[in-house]
Amino acid sequence: MNAPLLALVLASLAAVAPVWALTGDEENSVSLYRRLNAGVVNITNRAVAYDFFSNPIPSASSGSGFAFDAQGHILTNHHVVRNAQRLEVSLANGSKWIAKLVGADPVTDLAVLHIQAPPELLTVLSMGDSSALQIGQKVLAIGNPFGLEHSLSTGIVSSVRKFVKTGATEIEDVIQTDAAINPGNSGGPLLDSEGRVIGINTAIFSTSGGNIGIGFAIPVNTAKRVAADILTRGYVIYSYLGAETQTLTPDLAKALKLPVERGAGIVRIAPGSPAAKAGLQGGTRQVIIGNAIVVIGGDIVVKAGGAVVQTSEELRRIIRKHQPGDVMTVQVVRQGTLLDGTVTLTEQPR
């Protein structure tokens, strides 16, 4: 085939070839990534451990984070920066900055870092509102999975769970998403379709270590409160009752012939604590029920702050929602009698 004829054939094919256009949803994802990925940073945690012979063994791990103000403050997960001896933040332009840990909160698995980068190098992500999330709404996660460069995954809000516990961390109102969250994504932002941060990616549920469609993010409203406390004081304030409790189950209540089936039984009271000053009473003796050692004889908290208490975890969450100085109502069962009272909470000792 001669050249003019070949050119004519190619031109004809080009004329009838389909033109592939992005859908509206695809355009939204592409636009958000191009506009906001520079706000997501890579965090390297460098530490030194020692072997049996006291020889130093350097190690490094990585995670994600994002700039939330023009002063160089970075929000990430506590577990990303835990035990760090040196923290390094890499920006999207390739520059690296030594980071200072401003403060961390193991309870919510959040931490704030600071770098001395000039404002013109920072892309600040705006904080949204996680109070009205809808199951099924689109979300996007940007991070550095497995230490790779920035990547984007999309999905939906699968659920908003009242409470999730991962190890020693207890997260309330946690966002569950099917957007792929893998090791290295921790601390990165979960965005809505407007590009606002609605969560901080923190964990996956997996038997293999990889994503299987169940990821969790800390709600941004929690992150805003925690970050504000850290920037103001260097730590997060929590309310304190001063009572150690154990969950009362129906089987335990039946074995002990108690008048209530559920609640938080007080095991012991800290001297001088708000609980002690309010006259709450701890346990008086230990008994063995099955394979468990149970402390009995103390008050059983069945309501706190106007909410029903069925477990020790619920009581802790109710206390956490109060501020130091708040007067919290309590209802307890003491030796078969229902009693009402109040307790003035204080700041949790550090």
Strands 138-143 and 327-334, how do they pair?
unpaired
What is the C-alpha separation between 322 and 87, in angstroms, rounded?
Answer: 34
In degrees and rounded to multiples of 5, residue 29 shows phi and psi of -65, -45
Euclidean distance between CA atoms 47 and 158, whole angstroms: 36
- Contacting residues for 287 by C-beta, under 8 A, at least 6 apart: 256, 293, 294, 296
Using alpha carbons, select from 66, 40, 89, 106 the residue that is nearest to residue 350. 106
User: Distance of CA 91 to CAs 98, 121, 144, 166, Å?
Assistant: 11, 8, 12, 29
Q: What angle do CA 116, 120, 121 make, to 5 degrees?
A: 60
How far is residue 341's CA from residue 326's CA, in Å, rounded to a whole number?
A: 14
* Residue 95 among the catalytic residues: no
| Integer Cα distance of 74 and 68 in angstroms | 6
Active site residue 186: yes
Q: Which residues contact residue 224 at a Cβ distance below 8 angstroms, ignoring those fewer than 6 apart?
A: 127
Which residues are CB-neighbours of 182 under 8 A, at least 6 positions away?
145, 146, 204, 210, 211
The HSE-up count of residue 174 (CA atoms within 13 Å, CB side) is 21
Residue 222 corresponds to which tokens in the numbers above? Answer: 């929690």
Distance CA 68, CA 85 (A): 24
Give the span between the Cα atoms of 328 and 304, in whole angstroms. Answer: 7
CA distance 93 to 24: 29
Q: Which of 151, 158, 186, 312 is catalytic?
A: 186
The one catalytic residue among 62, 73, 78, 109: 109
* CB 109, CB 218: distance < 8 Å: yes
CA distance 299 to 134: 40
Q: Using DSSP, how many helices (H) and how many strands (E) does the chain show?
A: 7, 22
Of 73, 78, 79, 150, the active-site residue reads 79
Task: Provide the annotated active-site residues.
Answer: 79, 109, 186
